[in-house]
C-alpha cells in the first residue's frame, strides 16, 4: 500500500469504490407534476429518533431542481433482481418521467412514485440541503416506511460493479 498525498479524482473514486454499498432508487414529484428518478448509493441513515436519512446528489444533476422542490422524496432499497431498474434510473439524457417508463410503480403519499418489489422503502420530506463541494447532501425526515415480509437480498455496488451479497445462513 503506497500512501498518496496527491491524487486525481479517478484514484479518489477508486479508493471510495473499495467500500461496498447497497443501491437505492430515489424518486420524487413536485406540486406541478415533475418527476425525478435516479440511482444513488450515497444513502445512509442519520438519526434513529427522529428518523432521518441522507443521500448525496451531484449538484449539476438534472434531478436537482425536482428534488429541491419536491413535497416528498422516496428512497427505495433495491433488491438483487433490480439491476435493470438501477441501470435505467442512472441513464443520462432522460427525464425522471422517462426513466420511470417500463418500471413497475404506483403513486404513493403526495403522489411520490413507489416502486414495486423493493426490500424497503423510506419516504419523507426534506429537512435540510447542505451544499458541500460538488454535491448536495439531502437530509430527509422519514414519516412513511414499507418493509417487505419476504427476505429479498439487496443488490450491492462494489468496485464499480453490481453484485448480490451471499444470503446469511442460520447457525
Binding interface with ligand FMN (CB under 6 A): 23, 38-42, 55-58, 61-63, 86, 90, 92, 157
Compare residues 41 and 123 and give the one whose CB is closer to ligand FMN: 41
Compare residues 86 and 100 and give the one whose CB is closer to ligand FMN: 86
Beta carbon of residue 169, minimum distance to ligand FMN (angstroms, whole number): 27
Beta carbon of residue 64, minimum distance to ligand FMN (angstroms, whole number): 8
> What's the CA gap between 85 and 38, in Å, rounded?
9
Beta carbon of residue 155, minimum distance to ligand FMN (angstroms, whole number): 9
> What's the CA gap between 140 and 135, in Å, rounded?
16
CA distances from 145 to 24, 49, 60, 99 (A): 14, 14, 29, 23
Compare residues 32 and 92 and give the one whose CB is closer to ligand FMN: 92
Beta-sheet strand order (sheet of 21-22): 21-22, 156-158, 161-163
Cell 451471499, residue located: 166
Q: List the grid coordinates of 66.
A: 425536482
Compare residues 84 and 109 and give the one whose CB is closer to ligand FMN: 84
Beta carbon of residue 136, minimum distance to ligand FMN (angstroms, whole number): 9
Amino acid at each position: 500500500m503506497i500512501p498518496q498525498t496527491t491524487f486525481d479524482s479517478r484514484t479518489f473514486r477508486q479508493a471510495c469504490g473499495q467500500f461496498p454499498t447497497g443501491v437505492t432508487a430515489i424518486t420524487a414529484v413536485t406540486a406541478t407534476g415533475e418527476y425525478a428518478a435516479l440511482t444513488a448509493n450515497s444513502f445512509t441513515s442519520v438519526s434513529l429518533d427522529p428518523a432521518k436519512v441522507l443521500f448525496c446528489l451531484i449538484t449539476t444533476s438534472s434531478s436537482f431542481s425536482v428534488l429541491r422542490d419536491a413535497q416528498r422524496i422516496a428512497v427505495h432499497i433495491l433488491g438483487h433482481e433490480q439491476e435493470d431498474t438501477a441501470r435505467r434510473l442512472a441513464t443520462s439524457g432522460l427525464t425522471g418521467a422517462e426513466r420511470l417508463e417500463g418500471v413497475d410503480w404506483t403513486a404513493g403519499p403526495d403522489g411520490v412514485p413507489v416502486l414495486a418489489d423493493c426490500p424497503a422503502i423510506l419516504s419523507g420530506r426534506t429537512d435540510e440541503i447542505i451544499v458541500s463541494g460538488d454535491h448536495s447532501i439531502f437530509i430527509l425526515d422519514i414519516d412513511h416506511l414499507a418493509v417487505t415480509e419476504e427476505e429479498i437480498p439487496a443488490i450491492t455496488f462494489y468496485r464499480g460493479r453490481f453484485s448480490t451479497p451471499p444470503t446469511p445462513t442460520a447457525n
